[in-house]
Amino acid sequence: MTDPISLLLVDDQQLIRLGFRMVLEAEADMVVVGEAADGHAAIAQTAALRPDVVLMDIRMPGLDGIAATEAIVREHPQTRVLVLTTFDLDEYAFGAIRAGASGFLLKDAQRHEMISAIRAIHRGDAALAPRITRMLLEHVTPGWGAVSAEPAPVVDDPTAELTDRERDVFLEIARGLTNAEIAQELFVSESTVKTHVGRVLAKLGARDRIHLVILAHRLGLVDDRSLPSDS
């Protein structure tokens, strides 16, 4: 039996933390190991508890979730941060993605959506819905510089070391597909896809799938027209 996913809840509203705790601890594969009401406490609790996943609110008094996320990602690279954001996915949430967060979770998400998001983040399968991917790229990519119109030499291409199959997987990740969807697209097993994903992450030095998506779009390998529809 594998260890349960350890979680740290970060939100300045106690009732929200309580509600999340009740939902999450009802799952056999999850355990809440701590709570924090602001960014400073989140950083301290992460250092002390080493949770697998941090559910991070953005707007908090004192140190906000963006700064806390940046510190946690830098100091504890094995911990994943899942951003708690409002329905409109505001610029603060995208700032947290730039800081290294591994995904979004809407505060009004359904129970099954929350559970699925946490499990996805934990296993590194943090695919984003096409609509969210478009918004993410619109907000994040300009802040990291536009892709040059001139093609870079092969030696400078970070994808040059990928095999043909790894590149196929990379491009499907960039389209926002999950491992299961990629397996179906490429007619291979899901375990094979998982192996390729791990190699792509390692070769490109990417933290997780979100950053692979951003990298692919910065390199001009995919665009909005290649994204699947939400319907």
**Rounded-to-10 torsion of CA 74, 215, 97, 79:** -40
Neighbours of 118 (CB within 10 A): 23
Over residues 34-60, the mean pLDDT reads 95
Instruction: Check whether residue 103 and residue 150 sit in a common domain.
Output: no
d(CA 60, CA 22): 22
The pLDDT assigned to 93 comes to 67
Domain match, 13 and 116 both: yes
Q: How far is CA 21 from CA 5, 31, 148, 196, in A?
A: 13, 9, 46, 35
Determine, yes or no, domain membership for 114.
Answer: yes
Domain assignment present for residue 222? The answer is yes
CATH of the domain at 176: 1.10.10.10
Could you report the per-residue pLDDT of 109-157, keeping only the tens digit for each? 788 888 988 988 888 766 455 556 666 666 655 544 433 334 444 446 7
Q: How many CA atoms lie within 13 A of 104 on its CB side?
A: 26
- The backbone torsions φ and ψ at residue 169, rounded to the nearest 5 degrees and listed phi first, read -65, -45
Q: What percent of the chain has pLDDT over 70?
A: 78
**Same domain for 115 and 144?**
no
Say yes or no: 26 and 90 in one domain.
yes
Rounded to whole angstroms, how far apart are CA atoms 56 and 101? 9
Do residues 70 and 145 both lie within one domain? no
Residues 87, 164, single domain; the answer is no
Residue 226 has pLDDT above 70, yes or no: no
> What's the average model confidence in pLDDT over 91-117?
80
- Which domain range does residue 78 map to? 5-123
Query: Are residues 15 and 80 located together in one domain of the fold?
Result: yes
CATH value at residue 88: 3.40.50.2300
Split into its structural domains, the chain has a count of 2
Whole-number average pLDDT of the chain = 82
Residue 62: count other Cβ atoms within 10 Å of its Cβ. 12
Indicate if 177 and 221 belong to the same structural domain: yes
